[in-house]
Amino acid sequence: MSALQTYLDFVMNYAPYFYYLPDQGIVDPEWGRGPAPASFAIEFLSEAYKTKEFENQKSSILNKVVELADYVLSIQCSDQAKLAYGGFKSKDESTYYYAIDAMRAVSALLKPMTYPAQQAILRQRNWLRALSSTTCSTSPLSWAFTTNTTEVSPRQ
């Protein structure tokens, strides 16, 4: 098994978790999941999808990309009444939204759009529509580019 295959297997098994604890054989329950590892995984998987080495794994890779994209979009603040509007939670249990997570997430969410086969699947799930709705100036995505703070706590 190649090192790349080993890494692919790791990403397929553990993304979007921040840390894996090999001595315990579990993901770190304190850190959990977040947009940063999900985003890095989406970008890696999008590249792996187009390589000949993983030709026979395209379906599972695409499914994981869609799963991760769904997760990332599920932790985006879509409540326009909150200061965190458009931001992405730093991790599942957090109430904090960071601009750096928005920057990573948006970049990663655009990556699968470069491959026609991935576009077709994402269209079926209305994920493409959800992403494209973030392109106008009043959208959640605009927050990532217009906020000048590194941390925003949602309004109560």
154 falls within a domain: no
C-beta separation of 51 from 119 below 8 A: no
Higher pLDDT pick, 6 / 83: 6
Count how many domains the chain has: 1
155 falls within a domain: no
pLDDT digits (tens, 9 = 90+) for 82-121: 888 888 999 999 999 887 888 889 889 888 777 666 666 6
C-beta separation of 127 from 111 below 8 A: no
**In terms of residue numbers, what domain contains 122?**
3-146
105 falls within a domain: yes
pLDDT digits (tens, 9 = 90+) for 42-72: 999 999 998 999 999 999 998 999 899 989 9
Global pTM reads 0.77
Higher pLDDT pick, 23 / 137: 23
The pLDDT, as a whole number, for residue 101 is: 87
Distance CA 2, CA 79 (A): 45
pLDDT digits (tens, 9 = 90+) for 118-151: 666 666 665 555 554 443 333 443 333 333 333 4
26 falls within a domain: yes
The token duo for 85 is 């509007």
User: Facing residues of 26 across strands?
Assistant: 21
Query: Residue for token digits 């200061």?
Result: 83
